Structure 1
């Protein structure tokens, strides 16, 4: 990691999210990086919480507060939409599992409501309840979107007046092997704002974040970093939940899942300041972390790395075709 005035915008942003102000006269780089990672509102909330707003330029504070206020209003609208939708599903005897930002939206304290940027609502519905759920959604004006929702989802829905769409999932994101009959969804039932919901247990929540970030969004392969997922994990702590790191290791025990887990843990510790108990990561996760940082800091390295990935895909593609034809 570089130091002093040579720090990159990414390094300075990560330091600020850990309560350390190294930005000095480089706030343009920090703001640009925060916007790229969609964490401008989270940065404002964190600086406010740590009492660091007095140490930043006034125009930067005004801009970050503007982002936060806009996002807070959007999240209020999303939450009203969520409550209306959940109430209608509850009336049919359906209690969805909320995942990702949708879960945070319903349990975040009011003073932090604007910190998380949320693109849509994510609800997991038991397969036996899908038909009734869709009927209820159509009954309150939702329309299906003609998009492929992916292997773990039933479909996407929207209403023209809403600020976000709704994703109806059959299971949380990630490899199907994580959600077999022998591994039921581990959740906590809550009643919030007059509706009945479930949210993942802390262990399952972090598992969802890891597999979504590293496997579904391919960041284990691409070497990119998603600060929002790291801050989501830290938010679980801030909400008062404890996380059993060994239980997460047991849920993601080997192979690609274990590598994704260990790299995500390194990101949590070194970029989000989350203390993780248990065995340290091995050499390979450490090397992959170094690759992530190099991609963030050096444009030339990122271009070279992208070229290498494209070349590997081109070489591997014929082998995949041959293997598929032999089945």
Structure 2
């Protein structure tokens, strides 16, 4: 973590650091931080490797920026101003050095009423739709063989509690120029919300004890911008009990790893601290992951584990043994116990 923050210790096990960076998909960020810091002399083989990684990462960044500018301009032509989220937002955000940050897709949110028109517009510049669904929580993915990544179109965030659609997020956005077009850019606080919701609740990292180190670094970068993160506002967006506990667990982890000044009142409580400790133990002893996950599910099971086609969230706890409840419960357990995604620690 010190190396990723640009302040490597004197005696660095570079083989171990690079292996951990490869596992967490942060090698490009590692290379960029060492180039900027230049605080210690690197071994020749490490220097050559990181230089090669950095050159490739910068080229990928350039191609992704060009792709984003083209897509935004295309959508503007049909009177759609998309909202940039996750990696796409960092590419367009002033004051954030996202060079080297690995991206495989560009996530855009448009109003639900404009989703079909947005897809049709992308098709006119050569994109082919890869996936589509009537489910409002499923992204519509578009790809071209000439690009470094895909375009993922959303109309809302996937989590149902708290629920954020285009209109609610737009209240916390500003307009920014992207190439010759314009897009909506969420505030640092709103971007932190999106990343934490995605990992903790959508990807179930709260129950699984996983950490997406790229997103941890993203939140740290957002906190260090001139505007910074409004921690009280961020906390107010997470309802009490489970969503609030998931938020605090993530904030405990971020503060423990990189110390960005999260207010103490937002990282108190024995359960979030225990969950952070569990993550660190599990990172070293991955075989304990399934056991810890089952214990967390037993002590704090998901309250809102699925969403119907009508957009209404249904709770497994207290919902009753209605038709299909066991099928949904089994599906939810499969999702939680699936193979962890690349980059998760």
- Which of the five TM-score ranges fits, normalised by the shorter chain? 0.7 to 0.9
Relative distance call for 1:184 and 1:239 in structure 2 (3 A) is closer
Partner of 1:5: none
* CA distance in structure 1 between the partners assigned to 2:49 and 2:176 by the alignment: 36
- Taking structure 2 as the reference length, the TM-score comes to 0.80
Aligned to 1:45: 32
- Cα RMSD for the two superposed structures: 2.9
C-alpha displacement of 1:81: 1.2
Aligned-residue offset at 1:97: 0.2
Give SS of 1:171's match: coil
Q: How far is 1:308 from its partner?
A: 5.3
Distance 1:212 1:312, change over 3 A: closer
Residue number among 114, 138, 146 corresponding to 2:99 in the alignment: 114
Deviation at 1:236, TM superposition (A): 1.7
SS in 2 for 1:24: coil
Aligned to 1:129: 114
SS in 2 for 1:225: coil
Unaligned runs of 5+ in 2: 302-315, 326-345
Match of 2:288 in 1: 304
Check the 8 A contact 1:17/1:272 in 2, yes or no.
no
What's the TM-score, normalizing by structure 1? Answer: 0.84
CA displacement at 1:154 relative to structure 2: 4.3
Q: Give 1:208-223 correspondences, 5 Å limit.
A: 208-223=194-209
**1:200 counterpart residue number:** 186
Relative distance call for 1:20 and 1:82 in structure 2 (3 A) is closer
1:107 CA displacement: 2.8
User: Aligned match of 1:232 in 192, 204, 218?
Assistant: 218
SS at 1:174 equivalent = coil
Contact 1:99 1:122 in 2 (8 A): yes
2-structure distance, mates of 1:244, 1:206? 10
The aligned runs of 1:1-327 (5 Å cut-off) are: 14-22=1-9, 24=11, 26-52=13-39, 54-107=40-93, 112=97, 114-146=99-131, 151-175=136-160, 177-179=162-164, 183-185=168-170, 186-279=172-265, 280-297=267-284, 299=285, 302-307=286-291, 309=293, 323-325=321-323
Give the CA deviation at 1:273: 2.8
Distance (Å, rounded) in 2 between the aligned partners of 1:91 and 1:270: 46
CA distance in 2, matches of 1:49, 1:161: 31
Aligned residues: 307
